[in-house]
Structure 1
Amino acid sequence: MHQVKALIFDVFGTLVDWRTSIARETRKALSPLGIDTDWLAFADAWRNEYQPAMEEVRSGHIPFCKLDRLHRRNLDIVLERAGLDRVDEAVRRELNLAWHRLDAWPDVSPGLHRLKARFRLAPCSNGNISLMVDLARRNDFPWDAILGAELARDYKPKPVVYLAAAGAFDLEPGETMMVAAHTSDLAAAAAAGLRTAFIARPDECGPGMGETAAGTTVDVSCASLLELAAALET
């Protein structure tokens, strides 16, 4: 582990609580229009379009575009499916920015600040740069750089995303650790030669609906970023 010089992070689910944040922001945007629904279910439906949309890019079916654009297309799909076509363009534009206003899990900011004393830090997210900057400013994430899909022009778990992040720091893959709450992300990073750390987020997709343990071999497994910082200090 002494070779690791940089930590790169998944963001949605690992660092921020997308589900309750999106439910809150959707209610704030749509309730004034007289709309009442299961806001958590709406958040889940919107998130469920995430991987299929990115797969169109990964497969080469459509050119690379920022996640904000995919989120907007997915929002239109979910609104139509829910019979909410009456929501106008201005509301849709503002609601799509809900992904820029997600709240972090409580351990994240203090954990990142502690980790920053020893490591270079950056997100390695499918989110676009402006989205990552807004989340960092909202939640006090002390990044050294903003890396990820927009830099690589592709989406995780394609190897180029992880390798571009390591390369941006002029590091070998083995000098870079991917930190995530998702087995698929960590397995792909490890296959690209990175070290890996699992962070348990058991309530990411609802109470007891997140991963509690990695389903693949990882270098470190922790319950929080503060625990990760302590583990990497030894």
Structure 2
Amino acid sequence: MTQIRALVFDVFGTVVDWRNGIAREAAPFLKKWGRTDIDPIAFSDAWRGRYQPSMEEIRSGRRPYCRLDVLHRENLSYVLQYFGIEEAAISEQELVSLNKAWHRLDAWPDVVAALDRLKPHYILGPLSNGNISLMVNLARHAKLPWEVVLGAEITHAYKPSPQAYLRAVEALDLPHAEVCLVAAHNSDLRAARSCGLSTAFVPRPDEYGSHEKADLKADSEWDVIATDFTDLADQLLVGKSA
């Protein structure tokens, strides 16, 4: 903990509440399209359900790298079809606006105050699968005090591919152990640790609502295990001046 100089964060699920945010953004569109029979939360879950399969096409080498905004837009088409919504009847402006919902997600309540406390002592930034414009817009919307934006568009690799972590650390020009990934997903932390990064676990039991199963607790002895971002800041700031 004493050697850590940079904190990089998984964003979707760890920093921001994508599930309720997408549901909130989707609800007025579903109403406009006459589909109040569709639960906005179910729509959100279905859209997010395409997240890993679409990135796996790139991780596997079957498809060249493209930005997450592009994948989200393709996944939106899939979800509309899944729910029996005729995409051709929707204006391009509406589709673009709904796809940008991923740029307008709220932070979990404990995040911003904790980041503000950590910022004087650590380099802060996302290490996310989101592209740069998405991360910048999200930071402005949710008031996230990032100093640098790292992640897939910088590395041209999607987590948990090793290059997603290694190239991000290279960009910071720091020893690997001095960069700590903060995440609510044990698999993300395992991949980061295998690349030599320090690790911090913060659970988000509400990320998937009652469907949450995999990451209710830390499944390894990560360098820091916190109950929330407030506790994370408390542990990391021990011995540091205010």
TM-score by length of 1: 0.97
Shift of the alpha carbon at 1:198? 0.3
Q: Partners in 1 of 2:128 and 2:10 — Cα distance?
A: 5
Q: What's the counterpart of residue 159 of structure 1?
A: 162
The 8 Å contact of residues 174 and 195 in structure 1, kept in 2 or not, is answered as: yes
Pairing 1:41–2:42 present: yes
1:225 aligns with 2:226: no
Q: Does 1:212 align with 2:216?
A: yes
Classify the secondary structure of the residue corresponding to 2:7: strand
Letter in 2 for 1:181: A
Measure how far apart 1:33 and its partner are: 2.3
Deviation at 1:29, TM superposition (A): 2.1
Q: Deviations over 1:158-182 (max 9, x none)?
A: 1111112212111011110000000
Output the CA distance in 2 between the equivalents of 1:208 and 1:88: 33
- CA RMSD across the alignment: 1.1
1:224 partner amino acid = D
Which residue number in structure 2 is paired with residue 149 of structure 1?
Answer: 152
- For residue 35 of structure 1, what is the amino acid of its counterpart? R
Residue 70 of structure 2 is aligned to residue 69 of structure 1: yes
**Residue 106 (structure 2) aligns with:** 103
Aligned residues: 234
Measure, in 2, the Cα distance between the counterparts of 1:90 and 1:233. 46
Among the aligned pairs, what percent are the same residue?
Answer: 52
* One of 129, 132, 141 as aligned partner of 2:132: 129
1:40-98, CA deviations, whole angstroms, 9 ceiling, x for partnerless residues?
Answer: 01100000000000000001111100000000000000101111013332221111000
Shift of the alpha carbon at 1:208?
Answer: 6.6
Q: CA contact under 8 A between 1:114 and 1:226: conserved in structure 2?
A: no
Deviation at 1:207, TM superposition (A): 3.7
**Is residue 197–residue 222 contact of structure 1 (8 Å, CA) maintained in 2?**
yes
TM-score for both structures, normalised by structure 2: 0.94
Structure 1 stretches lacking a partner, 5+ long: none
Q: What is the 5 A alignment of 1:45-56?
A: 45-56=46-57
Cα-to-partner distance string for 1:101-136 (whole Å, 9 max, x where unaligned): 111100111111111121001100000000000110
